[in-house]
Amino acid sequence: MTTVAAFRILVVEDEPSIAENVVYALETEGLTAVAVSTGTEARERLVSSAFDLIVLDISLPDDNGLELCRWLRSRSSVPVIFVTARSSEIDRIVGLEIGGDDYVVKPFSPRELAARVKAVLRRTSPPQPPSRPSPPFEIDEARLRISYFGEPLDLTRYEFRILAILARRPGQVFSREKLMELAWEEPEASFDRTVDAHIKSLRGKLRARRPGVDPIVTHRGSGYALKDDW
């Protein structure tokens, strides 16, 4: 059986409430979902990162989903599930060689869409050997950027350094002094509470991305570590 958690879905939908419900339904099924509201953003995302399936609204403010799919097909065979508000569009989706894998007509049930997404993924993804899920943090050393669940975080210089130190050694406890020594050029000019302040702001940024998940563990009296059991 293929584990679904590793699958990343791009949801291209300009109606915020629909996008939100779809993302929620997909994440409830254990998939990772990213939503964008315009064709331009969708193209940028598709060029810069890999997705396992696209949920694509046909009517976008700046683009047409069918055109977007045609453009996508010239570079990738990633599965596409179309979302349409008009049943008259179904003929074009099914009949023409646009290369969609399935479609839903608005109004639709997000749960049903999530079930279709899983069905298409099962059909199109070869079974993978069981493996440890990849850690949610990816450090891009060259660009001094850290991605969390596939999305780059907007970090200050010290937040980047602290998180990178923790993320390179998940589970290892770092004292405030050690973090300061590793992250600051002039540690003696800083104070313990500086580390606490940066950790606090980091936690805020991570929580904004994944409410309810706190990957930074406080070890009272000894320091901080990054969660290693995902």
Torsion of CA 178, 183, 185, 190, to 10 degrees: -60
Shortest distance, position 195 Cβ to Ca ion, whole Å? 46
Near Ca ion by CB under 5 A: residue from 10, 51, 57, 79? 57
Site string for Ca ion, 9-38 (x = CB under 5 A): -----x------------------------
Q: Which residue, 57 or 63, has its beta carbon nearer to Ca ion? A: 57
As to burial, measured by CB atoms within 10 angstroms (0-12 exposed, 13-18 middle, 19+ buried), residue 35 is buried
Residue 189 CB, nearest distance to Ca ion (Å)?
53
- The C-alpha torsion from 8 through 71 and 20 to 155, rounded to 10°, is 60
What is the C-alpha to C-alpha distance for residues 3 and 55, in angstroms, rounded to an integer?
A: 20
Instruction: Tell me which residue has its CB nearest to Ca ion.
Output: 59
User: How many angstroms separate the CA atoms of 137 and 163, rounded?
Assistant: 9
Q: Does 59 bind Ca ion (CB under 5 A)?
A: yes
Q: How remote is the C-alpha of 212 from its chain's centroid? A: 16
Quick one: which segment of 39-47, 56-64, 136-144, 183-191 binds Ca ion (CB under 5 A)? Answer: 56-64
Q: By CB under 5 A, is residue 159 in contact with Ca ion?
A: no
* Nearer Cβ to Ca ion (82/174): 82
